[in-house]
Amino acid sequence: MFVLALVAQKGGSGKSTMAIHLAVEGHRRGMKTLLVDIDTQASAAKIMDRRGEDPPDVTTEAAGRLEKAIEAARSAGYDFVVVDTAPQADRAAAQAAKVANLVLSPVQPSIVDLDAVDATIDVCKLANVPMMFALNRVPAQGQEIAGTLDAIRKRGMQVSNVRWGERKAFRYPFMKGLTAQEVEPGSKAASEVKNLFDALRIPASTQAHIGAGAHVLMETGAPARRSASAQARMKDGVKV
Ligand SMILES: Nc1ncnc2c1ncn2[C@@H]1O[C@H](COP(=O)(O)OP(=O)(O)OP(=O)(O)O)[C@@H](O)[C@H]1O
Ligand SMILES: [Mg+2]
């Protein structure tokens, strides 16, 4: 089982948008997928409720019970668990980082988002979890993103090569609980979702039983950085 946590101390950076799209992508690739929303606003869960009974499965959970929920998901045979977290919630974010194999942190190319990056890094370092930033809502033209990339890399952190543009396709399908790749499969948004999912580098063993149609990892993104001690706790990319 692979646990992905979306953590960013900045509100509105795109945690729920990425959590939903990546959970749906995991399901579409044949993984038994669960989205756990620990944000008390439950915005991701509310959007997913509009899907009715359609998978992936969704649950809301108090941050303090997350560890139990992850164990229950493991026993229930889930392959992929996505945890969506609230902004400005150090304790809850730390709990999510603690149970995760990888933390994905969306960041918009703005100085306001950059200011919150340090707080996010601190939470993940304490949890000793691999972490990857991904630029979100990148404008089609104009705004310089080099400054944001530099600032993150200067902190010794990895930024995925995959960037999500500012696109309506990431927004309007939510009205029906759907995602860009379901509503506009040939769109740029859909390929950005696919590429970001690939960049997570979920170990093949997690997806092994999926069979002939199993997803093949592509070299589309930078691997998450692992500290020496985190590496020691990892086997084949999975926290042990
Ligand atoms: N790539 C994108 N293109 C267009 N709109 C986007 C994109 N990413 C996010 N949004 C929109 O930006 C807003 C904030 O996104 P989202 O709710 O995913 O952020 P969040 O980090 O979960 O916020 P919070 O911290 O409040 O939980 C939403 O209205 C969402 O539809
Ligand atoms: Mg959110």
In tens, the pLDDT along 92-134 reads: 999 999 999 999 999 999 888 888 899 999 999 999 999 999 9
Q: State the CATH class of domain 2-239.
A: alpha beta
Q: Decide if 159 contacts 222 (C-beta within 8 A).
A: yes
> In the chain, what are the domain boundaries?
2-239
Q: What DSSP letter does each residue of 71-86 carry, written as one string? A: HHHHHTT-SEEEEE--
Ligand with an atom nearest the CA of residue 7: 1
Greater confidence (140 vs 70) lies with 70
Q: Tens digit of pLDDT for each residue in 13-56?
A: 999 999 999 999 999 999 999 999 999 999 999 999 999 999 99
Alpha carbon 60 to its chain centroid, in Å, reads: 16
Which structure tokens are listed for 79? Answer: 């392959």
Q: Is the pLDDT of residue 145 over 50?
A: yes
Please give the model's pTM, rounded to 2 decimal places.
0.88
Report the C-alpha gap between 240 and 196 in whole angstroms.
24
CA-nearest residue for atom 9, ligand 1, is 14
Instruction: Give yes or no for residue 158 CB within 6 A of ligand 1.
Output: no
Which structure tokens are listed for 19? Answer: 């959590």
Q: Tens digit of pLDDT for each residue in 206-218?
A: 865 554 333 333 3
pLDDT for the residue 208: 54
Q: Is the pLDDT of residue 180 over 50?
A: yes
Ligand with an atom nearest the CA of residue 172: 1
Q: Decide if 145 contacts 172 (C-beta within 8 A).
A: no
Report the C-alpha gap between 215 and 177 in whole angstroms.
24
